[in-house]
Amino acid sequence: MRGAAHAGGAGDRPSRVPRRDAAGDPARRERPPVQCPCGWWLLWVWSLPLSLGELCVPAARGRLQCLQVSVFANRSWARTDGLARLGDLQAYGWSNDSDAIRFLKPWARGSVSQRQWDELQNTLSVYRNSFTRDMQELVKMLRLDYPFEIQVSAGCELRAGNISESFFHAAFQGGEIMSFQGAYWAPAPDAPDWAGRAAQALNQDQGTRKTLQSLLNDTCPQFARGLLEAGKSELEKQVKPEVWLSTGPSPGPGRLLLVCHVSGFHPKPVWVMWMRGEQEQWATQQGDVLPHADETWYLRVTLDVEAREAAGLSCRVRHSSLGGQDIIIHWEGSHSSWLIPVALLGSLLMIGCVGCLALWYRKRRSYQDIL
């Protein structure tokens, strides 16, 4: 990151993956002091989306977030991919295979000129090469092992009353190593020793810290509010959920796994609970909220109960699209137990009647042939 004078950075807590025990972490060995250039990549990540024209887009009174994932398999193979999203909507993509930013929404370009976007494509190319090179130097300096992964999440959150709050988090191997808080870099509580030395070195660069403060507190909210209007119709889209009930695999003898399916809703926030009358069933288990291709969502919520206690249960769904009117679906499994054999008997009777009619028709035709 030799040209890091253009830099800045921000992010939100990345998802975690298992990290090695401290005893097996080569970063715990004796190592030379960290030099300042190794941290410049954190600042570059922020400058790319904001200095050249609104790469990141915010949700209404929500979160503007840029994400970067860089994988280093060995000293000669690495890749970096990124995206930018507003709330739950992904607006931009950036693949390792190309420096071109992909517009994933028709309004994502905003008011940025073609010249600004051309400059951004060139900056991304320089950034990726510099980031890869400097991370490889960092590995040598700290005696780290391949393979490893770096994650960065950067952005700001817009709130009511023209208030915004920025965030920056960087992670190594899925565990947070440092964040930018106020005007200083701070190592994460569980970060390896070298993260503290890196933060201390970064804090000595007062000019970069001031630049980063400006990007986080001024530039990010400015672009966030500017593009809020461009995507307003999609951001404020409301789609009502569809709800139905079923049973899952039996948890054991005499027990039922009741399943409440909630599908096709937007926006993402939703409240779903198994109820008995007005009493919430705290044994309710909620799965992950999963995306559909049309950018609506699906959720599966279960309850393990004794079969004899299933009667009287219901699934309640609360969502912004419902105008304050919850959807309540009552469990009627006791009725379904006799519906299946009745339906089967009806099918058999139908088949029998059709067979009888066919036999009568054949006999009638045979009599007509004789006559």
Tens of pLDDT, residue by residue over 114-142, are 786 777 677 777 777 777 877 787 777 77
CB-based burial label for 220 (10 Å; 0-12, 13-18, 19+): buried
CA dihedral (84, 89, 91, 92) positive or negative: positive
Q: What pLDDT score does 304 carry?
A: 96
- Residue 345, pLDDT > 70, answer no
- Whole-prediction pTM: 0.63
Euclidean distance between the first and the last CA atom of the chain, given in angstroms as a whole number: 102
d(CA 67, CA 86): 11
Q: What pLDDT score does 358 carry?
A: 56
d(CA 67, CA 12): 9
Q: Which amino acid is at 317?
A: V
Give the other-Cβ count within 10 Å of 274's Cβ: 24
- Residue 5, pLDDT > 50, answer no
The single residue listed with the structure tokens 């005696």 is 143
Which option is the CATH number for 63-236: 3.40.50.620, 3.30.590.10, 1.10.3720.10, 3.30.500.10?
3.30.500.10
Domain 242-331 coded CATH 3.40.50.2020:
no
Residue ranges covered by each domain of the chain: 63-236, 242-331
CA dihedral (265, 268, 269, 275) positive or negative: positive
Q: What pLDDT score does 174 carry?
A: 87
The CA-atom distances, in angstroms, between 216 and each of 139, 169, 194, 209, 348 are 28, 13, 25, 11, 71
Q: What pLDDT score does 361 carry?
A: 52
pLDDT digits (tens, 9 = 90+) for 46-101: 444 433 334 444 444 678 888 989 999 998 899 999 998 888 888 888 888 877 88
- Residue 311, pLDDT > 80, answer yes
Assess whether the previous peptide bond of 267 is cis (omega < 30° from 0).
yes
Q: Which of 17-26, 62-71, 180-189, 273-282 has the lowest mean pLDDT?
A: 17-26
pLDDT digits (tens, 9 = 90+) for 217-229: 887 787 777 777 7
Task: Assess whether the region 63-236 and the region 242-331 belong to the same CATH fold.
Answer: no
Confidence of residue 352 (pLDDT cuts 50, 70, 90): low
Q: What pLDDT score does 281 carry?
A: 95
Q: What pLDDT score does 69 carry?
A: 92
CB-based burial label for 318 (10 Å; 0-12, 13-18, 19+): middle
How are beta strands 63-74 and 148-159 bridged, if at all?
A: antiparallel
Identify which has the larger pLDDT, 84 or 336: 84
Q: Which amino acid is at 93?
A: G
- Residue 371, pLDDT > 70, answer no
Q: What pLDDT score does 193 carry?
A: 87
Judge whether 302 and 284 are in contact, CB under 8 Å. Answer: yes
